[in-house]
Amino acid sequence: MSEVISMVHGSGGSATGELIDKVFAAEFSNDILDAMEDAAIVSAKGSIAVTTDSFVVTPVTFRGGDIGRLSVCGTVNDMLMRGATPSYMTCGFILEEGTDIELLKKCVHSMAETAKEAGTRIIAGDTKVVEGHGGFYINTTGVGIVPDGVDISASNAKEGDVIIVSGTMGDHHAAILAERMSIETDIASDNAPLVEMVTKLRSLKVHTLRDITRGGLGTVLKELAETSGKNFTIEGTKVPVSAKVSDFCGLLGLDPLYMGNEGKLVAIVAKEDADKALKAIRSSKYGENAAIIGEVSGKEPGRLFLKTELGGIRELDVLQGEGLPRIC
Amino acid sequence: MSEVISMVHGSGGSATGELIDKVFAAEFSNDILDAMEDAAIVSAKGSIAVTTDSFVVTPVTFRGGDIGRLSVCGTVNDMLMRGATPSYMTCGFILEEGTDIELLKKCVHSMAETAKEAGTRIIAGDTKVVEGHGGFYINTTGVGIVPDGVDISASNAKEGDVIIVSGTMGDHHAAILAERMSIETDIASDNAPLVEMVTKLRSLKVHTLRDITRGGLGTVLKELAETSGKNFTIEGTKVPVSAKVSDFCGLLGLDPLYMGNEGKLVAIVAKEDADKALKAIRSSKYGENAAIIGEVSGKEPGRLFLKTELGGIRELDVLQGEGLPRIC
């Protein structure tokens, strides 16, 4: 096989077959995928959670992860946010001509490893080739199984609920930006599958879960306030930010409230279970820095407020303007 | 809203929200999608069929269809080929900067119309923006419900079975090529969802269904011969090709056996049901030119033979080399 992707790899003929065999099938092998049918058939009794996401992050590798790990974490976490077990995943690759096949293999291996960590099976895939300069995109779609009785939804937040975040804000955003600006730092992306954390939370009175990705905590909370028709108030000093990211933000004039993460969630939990939920998150992999940051009230539907360090109150909106392009 | 896509539309903030509202949500609106959750939840009792496909066709509009219609047909047909009802679909858009929003809307409308025709609901979506020159890609992933007792699979072909194709070969390929070469012709793409056809076939002894896309009939049959471990023989004179496509191929030195379609299937059917299956296909939308083209034997496992017009026998392989890039 040539060492970079060329248009012939997209033909659907023998070169495509060779690419699939050598790069994808070996890493993702399982009895369902290996059947190479038009559609994979799996059993699903009850409710299923379905989510899709495309990954266009640049650069494709970065401190703490790569596009492969990211593409699994993003979709696995979206299934988890509905309380589902992230059982199955599909992947679609759009490869530009000139893609380095060794780099591709590295990212595919990383996908396979992360899928294993998350307990997810990749059951269908597709590969296309386009002109370009050696970049590539990955779409992942998840099909999760929702356990009986689980009802976690953006609209379920209730007056009196407590708002918990599972860790420090802005790590993924800062790591990508540092790579792109060639800033020397040891800030690493937080890209991680939150399976253990959500599994532990399922037995508690958790009303809403949302992973804090593109747009950051501010955007996510404003959207949840609107969806649930509740009023959210958070305290700025309680939002966890690592010292490194805090310094990085100070230097560049960035606001961690609007910076994307890829392994953090916000949980909205009934007050009586808040301490248990915090403990459950802190005792889970990737949750050691969790904190209670605010509460839900019924006063001003759809609005999000921040109590500042100096005791002031500032209303927050979703992210305006560009943020950081191609962060995920 | 600006009239072309810019990087700000990929921020995850207010501009992304506006894009989703104005371009996608209005067209795809249904109660599941409108909830705008991290994952859509639907009920699925029994077995589900899952398939994924990315669409990178260029140009994005062509005689007889566009990338929107194509992206629904491709995934709907893949679900149907396992006998599943194509109930649900997700879509992921990767938009290049400079994408004309009117053109995007046209293709999105076409997706919505085709989904309606196929009885499919779009239940989850994602939008990313990348640098570029105004092109765009669509990933669609299908989740279909497999009716009890249905078992249609590439490995099910049996000795004595009859091979049927549902219509003329090469139309989509020829239509795309004509667009790209600015050849004046009225050959139109055959992109179509084969729901009615497959629904009618389900009650018959249909062992295998496969849609004839990238790589063409030759590639598909060779792959099926290998998967089932059977020997397939087809007669060249029986393979339907329209006069227009036949002339087009003659002019350009193309072989319709290796040209992609987007609304045709091959059915491998027990001999006693072959006539009924042919009738069912011919009486379905998009099936009027169906024909019996060959048969399955156990003689030479994994091999595909073509009886030529002059009475000779030629062995066929999967497509070698490029075919036509970015046909779907």
Partner-chain contact B42 A44, CB within 8 Å: no
Partner-chain contact B322 A11, CB within 8 Å: yes
Sheet strand arrangement including A40-55:
A121-130, A85-96, A136-146, A40-55, B40-55, B136-146, B85-96, B121-130
How confident is residue B2, by pLDDT bands cut at 50, 70 and 90?
A: low
Q: A90 with A52: CB under 8 angstroms?
A: no
Tell me which residues of chain A have a pLDDT lower than 50. 1
Other CB atoms within 10 A of residue B110 CB: 21
**CA dist B33 → B29, B76, B110, B125 (Å):** 6, 18, 18, 8
How confident is residue B31, by pLDDT bands cut at 50, 70 and 90?
A: confident
Largest separation between any pair of C-alpha atoms in chain B: 67
In single-letter form, the type of residue at position B165 comes to V
| Span B224-234, average pLDDT | 95
pLDDT value of position A314: 95
Strand, helix or coil for residue A172: helix
Shortest Cα distance, chain B CAs vs residue A152, angstroms: 10
B contacts of A55 (beta carbons < 8 Å): 128
**CA dist A141 → A40, A76, A96, B127 (Å):** 13, 9, 21, 13
Partner-chain contact B124 A50, CB within 8 Å: yes
Tens digits of residue pLDDT in B153-183: 999 999 999 999 999 999 999 999 999 999 9
Tokens of A124: 């269908």
Percent of chain B, pLDDT > 70?
99
Tens digits of residue pLDDT in B101-142: 899 999 999 999 999 999 999 999 999 999 888 899 999 999
Selecting from 3.10.270.10, 2.60.40.420, 1.10.10.10, 3.90.650.10, what CATH number does the domain A154-316 have?
A: 3.90.650.10
In single-letter form, the type of residue at position B228 comes to S
Q: How many CA atoms lie within 13 A of B314 on its CB side?
A: 11
* Mutant choice from A7, A28, A43, A50 vs B, greatest count of B C-beta within 10 A: A50
Q: A120 with A87: CB under 8 angstroms?
A: yes
Tens digits of residue pLDDT in A42-85: 888 889 999 999 999 999 999 999 999 999 999 999 999 999 99
Q: Please give the residue of chain A at the shortest CA–CA distance from B8.
A: A322
Shortest Cα distance, chain B CAs vs residue A12, angstroms: 5
Instruction: Please confirm whether the linkage preceding B325 is cis (ω < 30° from 0).
Output: no
A contacts of B60 (beta carbons < 8 Å): none
Closest to A98 in 3D by CA, of A68, A61, A135, A66: A135
B contacts of A207 (beta carbons < 8 Å): none
Statement: residue B85 has pLDDT above 70 = yes
Partner-chain contact B40 A47, CB within 8 Å: no
Question: A171 Cβ partners below 8 Å, 6+ apart?
Answer: A64, A187, A188, A189, A190, A242, A245, A261
Topology classification of domain B7-146: 60s Ribosomal Protein L30; Chain: A; (3.30.1330)
Give the residue range(s) of CATH 3.30.1330.10 domains in chain B.
7-146
Instruction: Report the alpha-carbon distance of residue B260 to residue B61 in Å, rounded.
Output: 17
Give the residue range(s) of CATH 3.90.650.10 domains in chain A.
154-316
Q: Which residue has the tokens 């937080």?
A: A190
Q: Which residue has the tokens 């109590």?
A: A307
A189-201 burial code (b ≥16 CB/10 A, e <16): bbbbbbbbbbbbb
Instruction: Tell me the residue ranges of DSSP E strands in A160-286.
Output: 162-165, 206-211, 231-235, 265-269
Q: B237 with B222: CB under 8 angstroms?
A: no
pLDDT value of position B7: 81
Q: A9-23, B196-210, B246-260: which range is least confident on average?
A: A9-23
**DSSP 8-state code for residue A77:** H
Partner-chain contact B47 A46, CB within 8 Å: no
Partner-chain contact B43 A46, CB within 8 Å: yes
- Helix then strand then coil, in percent of chain B rounded to 5, is 35, 25, 35
For residue B128, what are the β-bridge partners? B94
**CA dist B73 → A41, A275, B186 (Å):** 19, 50, 21
The interface predicted TM-score (ipTM) is 0.91
pTM metric for this prediction: 0.93
- Helix then strand then coil, in percent of chain A rounded to 5, is 35, 25, 35
Instruction: Report the alpha-carbon distance of residue B87 to residue B101 in Å, rounded.
Output: 28
Instruction: Report the alpha-carbon distance of residue A32 to residue A18 in Å, rounded.
Output: 19
